Amino acid sequence: MLFFLIILTTYGGVNYYVYETIAAGLGRDSWIVASLVTAFALAPFSLRLTEGKLPHWLLKWKAVIGFNWMGVCWLFTSCTVLIRILGLFVPAISAREALTIGGGLAVLATIWGVAAAQNVKEKRLEVLSPKFNDKDKNAFRVIQISDIHLGWGSSQAFMRKLVERINHLKPDLIVSTGDLFDSDLENLKEFVEIVKRFSAVEGKLAVTGNHEVYSNLGKAIELTVESQFDLLRFGSKDIGDWLTIAGVDDPEVPARLDFDQKETEMLKSIDSHRFVLLLKHRPSTARKSIGKFDLQLSGHTHGGQIFPFKWLTKLQYRARTGLSQLSLESFLYLSRGTGTWGPKIRFLAPAEFTVFDFKKGERFEIRHTLN
């Protein structure tokens, strides 16, 4: 509750700043600008109150406008603050010029961000391990998707293209590290049919994310299963003679238990001679679990999604985006996420899906490879 109170207070302050900056640039107050800023700011927060009371098409537009306004707000604030700081050294910059230049930069940043959200990058890593023991193959391919956040404003065209790209790479296994589904869960039948088309030799696995809990965990699980993903909820699945995939719930899942302790106990039960791939939505690591898994795949932070949130996520999670070595025996890969939450905008935080090619190696190492 404290976190959401801080977010709401900060967002309210940002919207007030946007209005004040526009009013200063115009040289007068404007009730029309004030009304529009207020309506846009409140739109995403009033969705729950109006669901079932307004036509679905109207709710969808309300969500699209409201959530994307969030992104535009932050970019406008960042750009105009930059211009105002510059104005301390160049006093000739007027309030109108600050609005014009800052607003223009915000428009360009928004266009960039919308395009970046649609242009999902493909990241590739090679995982070498003495534990690899696939008698039928020289390599085993795992593809990680994360934080797609299907719901309000999601695009079927985007998902069809993503499915086509990933299937073209012929994965042996596809894993989703949380927040596959997010909102408007009663109206996602078409998206379920698209997600079903993800194809992998050894199947598809997923873990829960925090937004699935916020929306409706039971329904989100139902949609995940309908999409033919197997959920790992403090459970594991063996593949062949060498690989075990383990997965844990997000801490937001209501449960009277010590999540770290349950995770550690689950990992202890797995044969240490097997390669353990741990799926965990948040990039937190239980101290006692390190050394009991080989590679943890996580998401959640979106790499900040919109600058400058990259720096704010670092205050909460020590893990940096990409690959980190936790010990001689354990690595963590933190994905920037494949989709977006809220605004369909990514600025200086490109979307990605990640390809891991597992091969036999004399010692355990993970290295980036060219696409």
Q: What is the pLDDT of residues 165-206, one digit of tens each?
A: 999 999 999 999 999 999 999 999 999 999 999 999 999 999
Q: How many helices (H) and strands (E) does the chain have?
A: 10, 13
Cα 36 to Cα 39, 70, 74: the distances in Å are: 5, 13, 16
Tokens 């360009």 found at: 108
- Residue 164 sits at the vertex; the CA angle it makes with 307 and 132, to the nearest 5 degrees, is 85
How far out from the chain centre does Cα 74 lie? 18
| Residues 6 or more apart whose Cβ sits within 8 Å of residue 30 | 22, 23
Cα 307 to Cα 72, 76, 113, 198, 310: the distances in Å are: 11, 11, 10, 31, 6
Rounded-to-10 torsion of CA 71, 75, 76, 78:
140
The number of CA neighbours under 13 Å toward the Cβ of 281 is: 26
pTM, to two decimals: 0.94
Report cis status (omega within 30 of 0) of the bond before 350. Answer: no
For the chain, 371 residues long, give each residue's pLDDT as a single digit of tens. 676 787 788 899 999 999 999 999 999 999 999 999 999 999 988 887 888 888 999 999 999 999 999 999 999 999 999 998 988 888 788 899 999 999 999 999 999 999 999 999 999 999 999 999 887 889 999 999 999 999 999 999 999 999 999 999 999 999 999 999 999 999 999 999 999 999 999 999 999 999 999 999 999 999 999 999 999 999 999 999 999 999 999 999 887 678 889 999 999 999 999 999 999 999 999 999 999 999 999 999 999 999 878 777 777 787 889 999 999 999 999 999 999 999 999 999 999 999 999 999 999 999 999 76
Contact 121, 322 (CB under 8 A): no
Task: State whether residue 206 is helix, strand or coil.
Answer: strand
Domains belonging to the chain, first-starting first, are 2-117 (no CATH), 121-368 (3.60.21.10)
Q: What is the pLDDT of residues 160-172, one digit of tens each?
A: 999 999 999 999 9
Q: How far apart are CA 331 and CA 316, in angstroms?
A: 19
